[in-house]
Structure 1
Amino acid sequence: MNRILFLVVLCAIGLTSCKQSEKIPPQEVAKEYFGMLDTSDYAKIPNLMADSLVTEEGDFTMTYSHEGYEELLRWDAVFDPSYEVLETVQEENGTVKVRASKIDTRIQFLHEKPIITDNYITFKDGKISSLRTEYVDFDDETFGNNRTRLLTFINENHPELNGFLTDQTEAGAQKYLQALELYNGQPRFDLGKDLLLMHFDCKTDVDDLQAAAGLLTLMSHPNFMHVNYHAVAGTYGIQEGLYVPPNDLFQQAFGKNWTDAHNRMEAAAEEVAQKAMTTLEAQGDIWIAEAGQSDFSAKLVKALQSKLPDLETTKRIHIVQHSDWNEEVTTPELLDFAKQQTDYRKIPDGNAVGNGTPGFRTPGYTQWKEQVTDPQLKSVWELAVDLSNKYNGKEGRYLNEAVQQNGVDFSDLSEVCWMLRLEDIKDTEEFFELYAR
């Protein structure tokens, strides 16, 4: 063989051997693994996984072949998952710890926000051989309650789909997705029968003033002008701070269609219970939007139970809450009562955009002045904003930065939007475009 040709061949062999001996760093393999999950790219399984993969989650351990794991990924892909690697850490024993976030159709329904986990990955010959998962952000209560609601609904209305929860095949995932679609397609608020109550704490954030204006805006629209609704002010819990007096605004917005519970919660609960009984006796349900805490709602339910002892409150009274802080400053025993004695729903926070409910907290938003053209509505919004500016952050009250920055905050209205299946509204701008004219 020609000496030069021999050297070329020898170099080529050497380079090939070097490439074969090169190993991708474990952290990069871990990132590629989550990239595979995010894209449902099953073809990467042989490159990333050892001959078998052992997964551990709590007391539950499974061993997967390549084929078995592909079947699991095909199940997962039906729900359109989105994985995000938040952090990777190479530990001293060679394990790679990956903190990751996951959201998909199933998780959005059950958990109502992404699930965050720590995943401990071990390797064999440069490929993933085991995966141990620990939960970092997982709300057992929300997940369990929503799962129970779904299973009960399917068992009572579509028993042909029973078993979807444990069938981790692609066909099983399709049944699961069908179950979610059927559940989500059922009516919430019945415009012809139900009563909508919106309970405003008005302490100590001024956002309730603007949420009241938002409620009137929505209820004035032709689609909802026949909704039976009633507002209640002063439904606060155990938070400290001064009250934000809403009476002038509520009188202008709602006329006689509101109740003042400030410093008279027990008496107000009796008054609202009388109104609610008319709806209940006509076979309508009660829907409560918590623009604050659940103290007043619990007292209202107790009043109704004393008047209607046979009332199934867990089926006929629905409470919708969107705020962790509201729950934290509710009297604990009254919050427990509300959760146990009603159909209590916790939805994503209306202060944020893109989490499954509208985001109605927008600094610097003044376009409503041009968008609200009805004179009565405009005067209500002007009064709400004037009062917000008057009381915002004053005398120790909460300083709402969106309002301080010449914007609006009517985030509590996200609950009413959820009840009316308007949760696809994106934000403040879209709300005014749809309902202000």
Structure 2
Amino acid sequence: MNKRIIVISLCAIGLLSCRNSEKKSDTEIVNQYYHMLDTSDYSQISVLLADNIQTQEGEYSPSYSQEEYKELLKWDAVFDPTYEILEIVKEDNGTIKATVSKSDTRIQFLYEKPFITDNNITIKNGKITKVSTEYVDFDSKTFGNNRTRLLTYIDEMNPELNGFLTDQTEAGANKYLKAIELYRAKPRFNLGKDLLLMHFDCKTDVDDLHAAAGLLTLMSQPKFSEVKYHAVAGTYGIQEGLYVPPNSLFKLAFGHNWTDAHERMEAAAEEVAQRAMATLEAEGDIWIAEAGQSDFSAHLVMAIQKMLPELESKKRIHIVQHSDWNEEVTSPELLEFAKTNTEYNKIKDGNSVGNGTPGFRTPGYTAWKQEVKDPKLKSVWELAVNLSQKYNGKEGRYNNEAVAENGLDFSDLSEVCWMLHLEDIKDTEEFFNRFTP
């Protein structure tokens, strides 16, 4: 009998030892928690979370049961999230601090890059009881502007989806996703009605020369024969450096269909505003591709507003910008004016491939010489390339490495492609294959 008691006691001690050896550290629990979020596998909720879990973002601090929290995570899963722990440390007070990158469909639309958050996680008796979240360097302007555009569009065009923003259920998330899809698919440039303006700064990068040749190539396609367009040169902002004279190229490419704003910005804005009047009075919209900064665009909008004071410019004038640097060297007050008084669209940078817009910056690309068969287009591309080689990096001008390596850079044309729903074009090679048969 005594032997049996001893055996049972030893077994109990052995089981207890096994359980202790399997006990997870707080850091391991947090890693498993974010793995669960990343994979949307909620089978571990009862293992990782306490019966009640509290969350906190700013002053908002709700509590959830495990089942309620699972429903919230189902909302999250609809957007196909990706979580990545960038750093994880144990704080002196016993909490775990995890710096996390999160991206999903909703975040990419509203914020245009991943959220970075510092998360302080409280664990008691091996289970998470509280998650406090602080956003790192949160860009409230980008987030707010995109959210406002989405809400305004849905309210006007698909009011049956209203309320999606605050409905944190799986059904609410699907409405949210549908709202984003509808916004992204909304009509853009009306080929037979709207006016396309492309504003080239020509300072101090030579890429605008290639972009001008790219614009003419696109506008020479039969499918775009109805497009009304106009080019403007010299629409620079506050950047340093010398101007790249484009006049001979613009005359060859556009004839009289361009305006010179170099050293005469306000006068040129008045001239282009007069040209825009016919489109606006015929109920067409104005679309501006910023192959540079927004200084000229702001002056143009001011001129139009004087001529048509009742115009709802945020609905009728659209700006498309793809470059962070262009925004940085725009006069701050004029950039703010442009964003406030137009529908301002910031798209992915056309210098990169695979980010959702065409990548038109390709070092060493010379196949255009064989691809371009039309004599007029060929002469325009030849002049654009020759002028870019003449001015690239000269007298302190920006040295465009793609051009220096005998390649092409017409990255600004990605904006026009976005307007025309051509953002599926991958790169320079595909552009020439598609538009220079």
Name the structure 2 match of 1:316: 316
In 1, distance between residues paired with 2:315 and 2:20?
64
SS at match of 2:168: coil
The question of 1:22 aligning with 2:12 is answered: no
CA RMSD of aligned residues (A): 2.4
Aligned counterpart, 1:329 = 329
Q: How does 1:279-358 map to 2 (within 5 A)?
A: 279-358=279-358
Aligned length: 434
Give the alignment of 1:10-89 within 5 angstroms.
14=14, 17-89=17-89
Q: How much has 1:130 moved relative to structure 2?
A: 1.7
Distance in 2 (CA, whole Å) between partners of 1:392 and 1:50 is 63
- Once the 2 structures are TM-superposed, how far is the Cα of residue 7 of structure 1 from its aligned partner? 8.7
SS in 1 for 2:62: strand
Provide Cα deviations, 1:252-281, integer angstroms capped at 9, x if missing partner: 222221111111112211211111111111
Q: 1:36 to 1:365 in 2, by over 3 A?
A: farther
Question: What is the SS of the residue equivalent to 1:33?
Answer: helix
Partner of 2:260: 260
Note the C-alpha offset of 1:353.
3.0
CA distance in 2, matches of 1:82, 1:366: 39
Task: Return the letter of the residue paired with 2:160.
Answer: E
Deviation at 1:140, TM superposition (A): 1.3
Structure 2, unpaired ranges of 5+: none
Once residues 75 and 189 of structure 2 are traced to their aligned partners in structure 1, the CA distance between those partners, rounded to angstroms, is: 33
**1:334 Cα deviation after fit:** 1.6
Pair 1:170-2:192 in alignment: no
The answer for the alignment partner of 1:389 in structure 2 is 389
SS of equivalent to 1:98: strand
Q: TM-score, normalised by structure 2?
A: 0.92
Query: What SS is found at the alignment partner of 2:240?
Result: coil
TM-score by length of 1: 0.92
Amino acid at match of 1:138: F
Contact map agreement 1:188 1:420 (CA 8 A) in 2:
yes
Aligned amino acid, residue 256 of structure 2: K
Q: Is the 8 A contact 1:231 1:259 kept in 2?
A: yes
Q: Cα 1:275–1:180, aligned 2, differ >3 Å: closer, same or farther?
A: same
Partner of 2:368: 368
* Aligned-partner Cα distance in 1 for 2:383–2:10: 86
Cα gap change, 1:294/1:41 in structure 2, threshold over 3 Å: closer, same or farther? same
User: Is the 1:142–1:346 contact (alpha carbons within 8 Å) kept by the matching residues of 2?
Assistant: no
In 2, distance between residues paired with 1:223 and 1:84? 45
Partner of 1:249: 249
8 Å CA contact 1:113, 1:355 repeated in 2:
no
Amino acid of the structure 2 residue aligned with 1:424: D
Determine the structure 2 residue equivalent to 1:227.
Answer: 227
Counterparts of 1:9 and 1:212, CA distance in 2: 86
After superposition, the C-alpha distances for 1:19-73 in whole angstroms (9 at most, x for unaligned) are 5443333333323222221211111222322222221111111212211111111
TM superposition shift of 1:9: 11
Aligned equivalents of 1:421, 1:254: Cα separation in 2 = 23
Greater alpha carbon shift after TM alignment, 50-59 vs 13-22: 13-22
Percentage of matched positions with identical amino acids: 74
Residues of 2 paired with 1:303 and 1:283: CA distance? 18
Residue type of the alignment partner of 1:431 = F
Distance 1:65 1:156, change over 3 A: same
User: Who is 2:142 aligned against?
Assistant: 142
Q: Structure 1 residues 31 and 329 mapped into 2: Cα distance closer, same or farther (>3 Å)?
A: same
Q: 1:429 to 1:19 in 2, by over 3 A?
A: farther
5+ residue gaps, structure 1, are none
Deviates more, 1:293-302 or 1:173-182: 173-182
Structure 1: how far apart are the matches of 2:100 and 2:359? Answer: 25
Secondary structure, counterpart of 1:160 in structure 2: helix
Question: 1:119·1:132 contact (CA, 8 Å) conserved in 2?
Answer: yes
